[in-house]
Chains A and B, each alone.
Chain A
Amino acid sequence: MRRVAIVGAGMTPFGEHFGLGIKELLPMALSEAEANVDKGFARADFEAAWFGELTTSDGFASGILADSCGLLDIPITRLENACATGNDAVRNAVYGIASGAFDVVLVMGADKVRETSTRSTFWDWMTMTRDMAWDYPLGLVAPGNFALHAARYLHESGATREHLAMVAVKNHHHGVTNPKAQLRQEITIEQALNAPLVADPFGLYDCTPQSDGAAALVLAAEEVVDRYTDRPVWIRGVGLGLDRVMHAHKRDMTTFPATVKAAKAAYAMAGVGPDDIDVAEVHDCFTAVELIDYEDLGFCERFDAKSLVERGETAVGGRLPVNPSGGLKSKGHPPGATGVAQCVELVEQLRGEACNQVDGARVALAHNIGGPTAVSAVTILGSEPA
């Protein structure tokens, strides 16, 4: 397979963009990504595009990207894979180039969560993620989806709500300096612990906000990379993993098997292991999920994630900084855009240009887990091709 590099990356700020529709957010992110290409970029160079979007706010998704961005003459595939959508769009685009079919392709991710009323959002999401006859009517809303895992995880691991609060405090702290982040304020452990409960054990500060936003990556085959930049970021590994869709069928709810499978595939393709990762953007839609991610991604032993946050090892400045962008928790979570935006952050990290720069970062990992905790995507990036 041919090697694939990212030569340009951009994103809109994440937030409640009531004043901007999907048809504005897409060209904004794309223009920023093109402007980020060192030696200049002509839109006509794109030969294909993969567009990750969970929900469509204004109708037919691929057509909206083509129409709003002037991409009417290339094939565009809309992709939906729950919260793993963004990194799965990257994965599919990588194969498009690696196969030899295309030299230059676009990856976009976007969602307008705040385009529907908060009243209907919960049920819209449950329609996409629950068995209609069996689980849908139970009202297992998104926080509850993960809270069932978190409750069992705390029960078995010995971690406490204080450890969840440490994750929230860390990611909020990282987000303060990120101009693209939605929640740019410091919080304290006490604030997190005393916040109103959402779904036990999650309080308000354990939860991601609802966000709108878009992110874009320009991908190029190794043969043409030099046309665009002298400092490409290489996509070294991609992986996707699945799990059973009904919570009652998940035998061990203290881990996400989908993540384990996605990580195994991505590490193998990249030829690296967890110890080689210098910086990571992981799925922290709810704080406990970040702790479980550490273990599933191999950053620590099982049930030892609490030690990592206690010792500050995953804060910027620590051994393995996680979510220097602020993560979903602080940066925001427009699901289709989330994975793509993680890669935007990691491109900046590997080029030494990030707002919370991790010194000497050379290998980086992006991760999502989503749907009924049944799909995960992992992408491994590097400043060297291998």
Chain B
Amino acid sequence: MSSVRSIGTYLPRWGTDAARVCGPDEDAVTLAVAAGRGALRGIAAGDVRRVVMVTRRPPLVDGGNGAALLAGLGLPATTDVVEQLGGGPAAMATLATAADGTLVIGVDTEEGAGAAGALTGPGGAPLDPGSTLARSLPVRTRDLDGVVHDYDDPRLLRERGSARAIGMVGAAGGVAAVTGLGAREAAALTGPGAPTAPTRGASAPLFAIAALTEAGQGGTVLALEQASAAVAELSAGAIAVHHDARRAAALPQLRQHDGPELAIALAGYDRAFDPKLRLEAARCAACGTLSYPPRLRCLECGSEEPTSTVALPRHGEVYTTTTIRIPVPSLATPYSLAIVELGDTEVRLLVHVTGTPPGVVRIGDHGTLEFRLVAVRSGVPDYGYAFLPDEVDDPTEKPENTANEEVGP
């Protein structure tokens, strides 16, 4: 049995209320960071001993995602990190059997995208693991190269897959919440008005637990994935829930342009990794000035004494901005860039704008810095921060022409 202290959820801004989709600067790691940071609100970093990311879509198979995940979460690189391939049942079983101090994050990046992270620890709501069941009826498959096969037989899946699985884990008598099924099938099991999840994969049972908690309920939670299933029993208890979800909006029409692979210098990537992914500046020992990126020689006084590391504020104001509308090979256009001045510091960052249509941000706008995928360079996901403008009343995009001609340097 585990004890769930807190849950953070995240939904990408794009798509519909029924099914969100990732933006071009989002992947399983950025979604996991957004949800995980919600779960870690007000939690001391020392309270987290292990992070388990459960997803069917890790950005990298070889090369690893754990370091970027820990950096984005602000956890020490010495934290135990597990990348688990799985869907709802895997996330459910992992959370229900997790030792205290485990942050389990389920991530879904396909249509119906979202992520939810749950942290275990003393004083939370008890979650008692029930049966799990692994069966093979792979109606839909995808291999390591991303090749998808769909057998396309929903009735077979329902009757020989989910219906049998529900019976075999002993959930046929009704459950408080079910994930991985269509709304009608789910309602048939739970009765009307039961909490639902906006996703159907690894994040879904965690969304369901958050929803039950907010409704002041406990009960049996059932997670399904094709013919496999897991159940757990949630008892009433105190779970701090934090949601990060904006109104859904249609993903802006972007054009992707063929071009050369973006080069990467891995030695430079390595040197920049911590300050870039952890948003940490160097404070000058002599004059206190913050330099970002950290550098040997102080920006202000020229001191070359050893510096201390300082976490930067994650909110700021746009100093200047532009929107690139011409075709840029290897990137999706148009995209907005902004120089953002952070909090009460003099530190500015040149960043992409995220979560809002290109061309909408103006000088003076306020917003936050969010962990995002800046680019994929020679196969390496290059993470950093992007500016998310504070939510205001329906931003309207000014319709504008776009140049196709090439222009000079």
A and B physically associate: yes
Instruction: Tell me if A118 and B350 are in contact (CB < 8 A).
Output: no
User: In the complex, which residue of chain B has the Cβ closest to the Cβ of A247?
Assistant: B350
Q: Does B136 contact A (CB under 8 A)?
A: no
Q: Which residues of A contact B265 (CB under 8 A)?
A: 132-133
- Report A-chain residues with C-beta under 8 Å of the C-beta of B264: 132
Residues A196 and B401 in contact in the complex (CB < 8 Å), given A123-B259, A134-B276, A140-B337 = yes
Most buried by B among A137, A148, A203, A210: A137
Task: Report if A291 contacts B (CB, 8 A).
Answer: no
Query: Is residue B216 contacting chain A, with contact meaning CB distance below 8 A?
Result: no
B325 at the interface (CB under 8 A from A): yes
B407 and A119 contact, CB distance less than 8 A: no
Select from chain A the residue with minimum beta-carbon distance to B273: A133
Would you call A72 an interface residue if the criterion is a C-beta within 8 Å of the partner chain's C-beta atoms?
no
Tally of contact residues, A, Cβ under 8 A: 55
Interface segment among A57-65, A149-157, A227-235, A293-301: the answer is A149-157
B263 contacts which chain A residues (CB < 8 A)?
Answer: 123, 127, 132, 136
Supposing A123-B330, A199-B324 touch, asked if A246 and B377 sit within 8 A by C-beta, the answer is no
Contact of A118 among B268, B374, B406 (CB under 8 A): B406
Residues 323 to 354 of chain A near chain B (Cβ within 8 Å): 328, 333, 335
A135 within 8 A of B: yes
Binary CB contact string for chain A from 103 to 144 against chain B (1 if under 8 A, 0 otherwise): 000000000010000111111010100011111111111111
B377 & A137 in contact (Cβ 8 Å cutoff): yes
Q: Is the CB of B326 within 8 A of A210?
A: no
Given contacts A133-B265, A196-B402, A246-B350, contact A210 B407 (CB under 8 A): yes
Query: Restricting to B139-194, which residues have a CB under 8 Å from any CB of A?
Result: none
User: Is A122 a contact partner of B293 (Cβ separation < 8 A)?
Assistant: no
- In the complex, are the beta carbons of B329 and A120 less than 8 A apart? yes
What residue in chain B is nearest A156 (Cβ atoms)?
Answer: B363
A134 touches B363 (CB 8 A): no
Is the Cβ of A123 less than 8 Å from the Cβ of B320? no
B349 close to A203 (CB less than 8 A): no
Residue of A83, A152, A208, A328 with most partner-chain B CB within 10 A: A152
Considering only CB atoms, which chain B residue lies closest to A208 in the complex?
Answer: B408
B352 at the interface (CB under 8 A from A): yes
Partner of A134, one of B293, B320, B329: B293
Nearest chain A CB to B307's CB is how many angstroms away? 16
State whether A210 touches B350 (Cβ < 8 A): no
A196 to B265, CA, bound (A): 35
Does B272 count as interface, using CB distance less than 8 angstroms? yes
Q: Taking the complex as formed, is A209 at the interface, i.e. its CB lies under 8 A from any CB of chain B?
A: yes
Q: Nearest-CB distance from B136 to chain A (Å)?
A: 41
Which of B328, B339, B349, B374 is in CB contact (< 8 Å) with A122? Answer: B328
B350 touches A285 (CB 8 A): no
In the assembled complex, how far is the CB of residue B265 from the closest CB belonging to chain A, in whole angstroms? 5
Chain B residues contacting A270 (CB-CB under 8 Å) are none
> What is the CB-to-nearest-CB distance from B354 to chain A, in angstroms, rounded to a whole number?
12
Residues of chain B lying within 8 A (CB to CB) of residue A247: 339, 350
CB <8 Å contact, B407 and A143: yes
- Contacting residues of chain A (138-193) with chain B, CB-CB under 8 angstroms: 138-144, 147-152, 155
Q: Could you say which of A122, A123, A198, A211 contacts B403, with CB atoms under 8 Å apart?
A: A198
B109 contact set on A, CB distance < 8 A? none
Q: By the criterion CB–CB under 8 Å, are A204 and B276 in contact?
A: no
Cross-chain contact A144 with B324 (CB below 8 angstroms) = yes
Hey, which chain A residues are within 8 Å of B63, CB to CB?
none
Does A210 contact B262, Cβ atoms closer than 8 Å?
no
- Type the 1/0 row for A209-234, where 1 means its CB is closer than 8 Å to any CB of B: 11100000000000000000000000
Is B382's beta carbon under 8 Å from chain A? yes
List residues of chain B with CB within 8 A of the CB of A198. 325-326, 403, 407
Q: Is the CB of B408 within 8 A of A113?
A: yes
Cβ A133 vs Cβ B272 within 8 A: yes
Cα A138 to Cα B401 with chains together (Å) = 22
By a CB distance below 8 angstroms, the chain B residues around A194 are 401
Q: Are B320 and A152 in contact (CB under 8 A)?
A: yes
**A311 contacts partner chain B, Cβ-Cβ < 8 Å:** no
A209–B337 CB distance below 8 A: no
Q: In the complex, are the beta carbons of B409 and A197 less than 8 A apart?
A: no
Residues of A within 8 A of B276 (CB): 133-134
Cβ–Cβ < 8 Å partners of A135 in chain B: 350
Q: From B272, B293, B375, name the one whose CB has the most chain A CB atoms within 10 angstroms.
A: B293
Let me know if A134 and B409 touch, CB within 8 A: no
| Binary contact track B348-383/A, C-beta < 8 Å → 1, others 0 | 111110000001000100000000001101000010
- What distance in Å separates the Cβ of B225 from its nearest Cβ neighbour in chain A? 35
Q: CB of A207 within 8 A of chain B?
A: yes
The smallest beta-carbon distance between A282 and chain B, in angstroms, is 16
Contacts of B403 in A (CB 8 A): 195-198, 203-204
Q: Does B393 contact A (CB under 8 A)?
A: no
- A67 is an interface residue with CB less than 8 A from chain B: no
A248 to B349, Cβ gap below 8 A? yes
Closest to B322 in A: A147
Chain A's nearest CB lies how many Å from the CB of B325?
5
**A155 touching B320 by the CB < 8 A rule?**
yes
**B326, A141: Cβ atoms closer than 8 Å:** yes
Q: Chain B contacts of A152 at CB under 8 A? A: 319-320, 363
- Which residue among A201, A209, A246 has the maximum number of chain B CB atoms within 10 Å of its CB? A246
The winner among A83, A123, A127, A147 for most chain B CB atoms within 10 A is: A123
Task: A335 to B409: give the CA distance in the assembly, Å.
Answer: 8
Contacts of A253 in B (CB 8 A): 319-320, 339
CB distance from A49 to the nearest CB of B (A): 25
Chain B min CB distance to A155 (Å): 5
A143: B residues at CB distance < 8 A: 324, 326, 407
On whether A120 and B409 interact (CB within 8 A), knowing A144-B322, A196-B325, the answer reads: no
Q: Is the CB of B348 within 8 A of A207?
A: no
Which chain B residues lie closer than 8 Å to A249 at the CB level? 299, 348
- Say yes or no: is A200 at the interface (Cβ < 8 Å to chain B): yes
B351/A333 in contact, CB under 8 A = no
Asked if A125 and B409 make an inter-chain contact with CB atoms under 8 angstroms apart, the answer reads yes
**A122-B328, A144-B322, A196-B402 given as contacts; is B260 within 8 A of A208 (CB)?**
no
The docked-state distance in angstroms from the alpha carbon of A248 to that of B293 is: 10
Highest count of chain B CB atoms <10 Å: which of A147, A195, A198, A247:
A198
Does the CB pair A200–B325 fall under 8 Å? yes
Given contacts A198-B403, A199-B325, A210-B409, 13 further A-B contacts (CB under 8 A): A113-B409, A123-B330, A132-B264, A135-B350, A137-B374, A138-B352, A139-B375, A141-B326, A143-B326, A144-B322, A149-B320, A197-B323, A200-B325
Closest 8 CB pairs of A and B: A196-B403, A133-B272, A147-B322, A137-B375, A207-B407, A152-B320, A133-B268, A210-B408
A/B interface sample: 16 pairs, CB < 8 A = A113-B408, A118-B406, A121-B409, A123-B329, A135-B350, A137-B375, A140-B337, A149-B320, A196-B403, A197-B400, A197-B401, A199-B322, A200-B322, A208-B408, A211-B408, A248-B347
